[in-house]
Structure 1
Amino acid sequence: TDYLDPVSKDNFFTYFQQSLQGKTIQAEEKIMLHNESNFTWLQISFIAHYAENGKLIGVSIGATAIDAKRKMEQLQAKYLQSLDELAWNSSHILRAPVANMMGILQLLQETNIALDDTERAQFLKHLSSEVKRVDTVIKDMVAKARKDLEN
C-alpha cells in the first residue's frame, strides 16, 4: 500500500475488507502509482481462500494493467460518437441540399414547363450553389471526424 495514492489506498482497504467477509471483488481502478505523475488502469481482484474446515486462510490479490484496453475503449467510444454524428449529419445537414438539387433537376427536366434562358441560368446557378454546399459539408464532416479521432 506504500505505492498507492490516498484514494486508491482507501479503495484497496475497502475491497480487502469485503473479501475478508467472503465477497469476491473484481474492479477496474484508475490508480496513481507511487512517485509518478500519471494514472494507470488496473483490473484488480480480491479472492478469499478457505481451508477445508471453512476457516479463512487468506486473500489473494491480483492486478493486471489494462491501460491499453481502456485506451481502446475510449477510442471506440469516440469512433461510435463520430459515426453517430456522421449519420445525423448525413440525414439532416446533407439531406436539404440534396433535396434542393433533386427539385432543381426535376424542374430543368420538366417538358411541360417552358423556361427561358434567364430562368434556366438561375436554376443552374442554384444547382451549382447546392453542389458547393454539399461539398463543403462533406469536407467539414471528414475534417471533424479526423480531428475527433486524433484527440
Structure 2
Amino acid sequence: MSLPDKSGLELVREMITIAENVPIIVLTGYVDANFAIKSLSMGISDYLLKDDLSPTILFKSIIYNIERNKNFVRLQESEQRYADLFQLSPQPMWVFDVETLEFLNVNQAAIGHYGYSQVEFMRMTIRDIRPKEELEYLENLMDSVRKENPKHLRVIVNHLKKDGTLIRVETHSNAIEFQGRSCRLVLAHDITAKLKYLEAIEEQNEKLRDIAWIQSHILRAPLSRLMGIVDLIQREDMEMDETKDFLKHLTNSAHELDEIIKDVVEKAQQIPGQNYYSPG
C-alpha cells in the first residue's frame, strides 16, 4: 500500500481502474480499520494484514474472491438481461415506491404511450395518472398492498395520458426491491380498444336479436293473412264483389309486409360492418 509514486486511497483508486472486473486483494502491514473499511467500500475484494498472513489464509482469500467475482459477474449479467427486458418490452412498464407512490423507473413504451418524458415521470407519482374520482380507491388499494404485500396483483383501472385522454388499463404488478426500497414492478396493458370492440359487438348482437324478434313475430301476422286470403280465393266460389274485397285485403297485407321488410332492412343497415341490399 506504499509505493514510491502512489500510496493509500490514491493507489487503491488507480488499481481498481486498471483491474476493471478483476478482484483485488489488499496486502499491507498497516493496521488501520478506517482505511480498510474505506478500501472495501471502494470495491476492494479483501483486506489482509501481513502479520496475520499464512499460505492457507492467502489461498482461501484468492479462491473465495475469484468465486465471489464469478457470482457477481453472473448477477450483473442477470440484472442486465432484466433491464433489457424492461426497456425493450412493447408494453408500458414502470417501478414505483409502495410508500411514496413515486415513479422510480419507466420504460420507453410507457413514455411513448402516456406522453410524459422520462424527466416528467421521475417527478410524478402514480396518483398523477389516475382520475381524481378514483384516488380514494387507489389509496385504499395501496393500504391493502402495504399490509399484505401480495406477490402478484391484477387490477383493471382508468389511467390518464398527458393530453387528458382517459384509457382503460389492465395492470399486473409484482413486489420487488429496487434501490433499497419496497417497490412494485407494473406492466400495463391498454384494453380501451378491446372494450370498445366488445361493446360494439354487444350492440350489434342486440340489434340482431331485435331483427330476429321482428322476423319471428311481426312478420307472421301479415304473412298469415296473405296465405289465408290466397287459400280462400282458391277454394271458394266467390262473386266478383267478394273477390275484389279479398284482393283489397290481399293488397293491404302485402303493403304492410313490405313496410315491415323495409324496417328490418333499415335496422340491419345500422349494424356496423353489415351491408344489405334494400329492395326498392
TM tier relative to shorter chain: 0.7 to 0.9
Q: CA deviation at 1:49?
A: 4.9
Q: CA deviation at 1:34?
A: 4.5
**CA contact under 8 A between 2:171 and 2:187: conserved in structure 1?**
yes
Seen in structure 2, the aligned counterparts of structure 1 residues 46 and 7 have a Cα distance that, compared at 3 Å, is: farther
Rg larger in structure: 2
Alignment partner of 1:130 out of 253, 266, 272: 253
- 1:59 and 1:135 map into 2 onto residues whose CA distance is 64
Look up the match of 1:53. Answer: none
| Superposition pairs of residues 67-146 of structure 1, within 5 angstroms | 67-110=192-235, 113-146=236-269
- 1:10 and 1:63 map into 2 onto residues whose CA distance is 20
- 2:194 and 2:234 map into 1 onto residues whose CA distance is 56
Deviations 1:33-75 (A, max 9, x none): 3551x4212112233359xxxxx96422221111210111011
Seen in structure 2, the aligned counterparts of structure 1 residues 30 and 149 have a Cα distance that, compared at 3 Å, is: farther
Seen in structure 2, the aligned counterparts of structure 1 residues 60 and 133 have a Cα distance that, compared at 3 Å, is: same
Answering whether residue 121 of structure 2 is matched by residue 27 of structure 1, we say: no
Q: CA deviation at 1:126?
A: 1.2
Question: Aligned with 1:114: secondary structure?
Answer: coil
Aligned residues: 142
Larger CA deviation: 140-149 vs 92-101: 140-149
Alignment partner of 1:7 out of 133, 140, 143: 133
Alignment partner of 1:43 out of 151, 166, 170: 170
Larger CA deviation: 39-48 vs 93-102: 39-48
The residue identity in structure 2 corresponding to 1:46 is S
Deviations 1:58-97 (A, max 9, x none): 4222211112101110111101101111111112211111
Question: Aligned with 1:2: secondary structure?
Answer: helix
- The CA RMSD measured in Å over matched residues stands at 2.6
Deviations 1:82-116 (A, max 9, x none): 11111111122111111111111111121xx2111
Q: CA deviation at 1:6?
A: 1.4
Look up the match of 2:122. Answer: none
Alignment partner of 1:62 out of 171, 187, 191: 187
When the two structures are superposed, what TM-score results if normalisation uses the length of structure 2?
0.45
Structure 2 residue runs without a partner (length 5+)? 1-126, 274-280
- 2:158 and 2:242 map into 1 onto residues whose CA distance is 66
**Bigger relative CO (Cα 8 Å, ≥ 6 apart):** 1
Structure 1 residue runs without a partner (length 5+)? 51-55
- 2:159 and 2:239 map into 1 onto residues whose CA distance is 74
